[in-house]
Amino acid sequence: EVQLVESGGTLVQPGGSLRLSCVGSGFSLSNHAMHWVRQAPGKGLEYVSAVSADGGSTYYANSVEGRFTISRDNSKNTLWLQMGSLRPEDMGVYYCARVNSNKYDYWGQGTLVTVSS
Amino acid sequence: QSALTQPPSASGSPGQSVTISCTGTSWYHVSWYQQHPGKAPKLMIYDVSNRPSGVSDRFSGSKSGNTASLTISGLQAEDEADYYCTSYGGSNSVAFGGGTKLTVL
């Protein structure tokens, strides 16, 4: 059974840093591009970042470019999102999602990031 | 690509059909996701009109020009959820619709 489990979300002060993790099981992460998608409280889904299957290419939404870094270790079936210079508007549930033939076929349960002083 | 445009709400009575539109879909790879409160999104339709295994055939998708549509027939109480469209043009080209809250009356 394919599963994605995120962790690392917590309360952090504005300007702070946080690293989110996403561990995959039931499949080999190395075969898939992986994305982070977030959802602010009461709002819709928003693309955050993407990494190619081999980790060689990374992409970011304009809103997080220069502040967030996506990475992966396929040997550990793990994806990360290093978040820096956090702002209140970065608050929300962060999902990792598996890309399969141009669609998100599996999502994690999400991890909540709260940015507040 | 800019964000896609969906109506904020839709509703229908049990047994009826409802259609949710998504405007601005420039790329072919249009998907629809269902999200119940507090849950992760679930893939319902991909590549405009294809259903993943396990998704009810009451869900169907179509596209005309730059507008994609999700139709749910034979509405059931469990269909009450938020629905999001996505247009996927590659890892650096992903657009989400703003979401449509479906109410089953």
What pLDDT, on a 0 to 100 scale, did the predictor assign at position B25? 81
What pLDDT, on a 0 to 100 scale, did the predictor assign at position B28? 76
In this prediction, residue B93 has a pLDDT band, given cuts at 50, 70 and 90, of confident
Q: How many angstroms separate the CA atoms of A84 and A68, rounded?
A: 6
Which residues of B sit within 8 Å Cβ distance of A?
Answer: 29, 31, 33, 35, 39-43, 46-47, 52, 82, 84, 86, 88, 91-92, 94-99
Weakly modelled stretches of chain A, pLDDT under 70: none
DSSP SS3 for B79: helix
DSSP SS3 for B30: strand
What pLDDT, on a 0 to 100 scale, did the predictor assign at position B2? 60
Which pLDDT tens digit goes with each residue over B18-41? Answer: 999 999 887 779 999 999 999 999
Which pLDDT tens digit goes with each residue over B44-69? Answer: 999 999 999 999 999 999 999 889 99
DSSP string, chain A: --EEEEE---EE-TT--EEEEEEEESS-GGGS-EEEEEE-TTS-EEEEEEE-TTS--EEE-TTTTTTEEEEEEGGGTEEEEEE-S--GGG-EEEEEEEESSSSEEEE---EEEEE--
Say yes or no to pLDDT of B82 above 90. yes
In this prediction, residue B91 has a pLDDT band, given cuts at 50, 70 and 90, of confident
DSSP SS3 for B78: helix
Say yes or no to pLDDT of B6 above 90. yes
Say yes or no to pLDDT of B1 above 80. no
Which positions ≥6 away from B67 have C-beta within 8 Å?
B21, B22, B23, B24, B25
Contacts of A63 in chain B (CB under 8 A): none
Contacts of B41 in chain A (CB under 8 A): 45, 95, 104, 107
Contacts of A104 in chain B (CB under 8 A): 31, 33, 41, 43, 86
DSSP SS3 for B77: helix
Which positions ≥6 away from B88 have C-beta within 8 Å?
A102, A103, B27, B29, B30, B31, B94
User: Residue A109 in contact with residue A38, Cβ under 8 Å?
Assistant: no
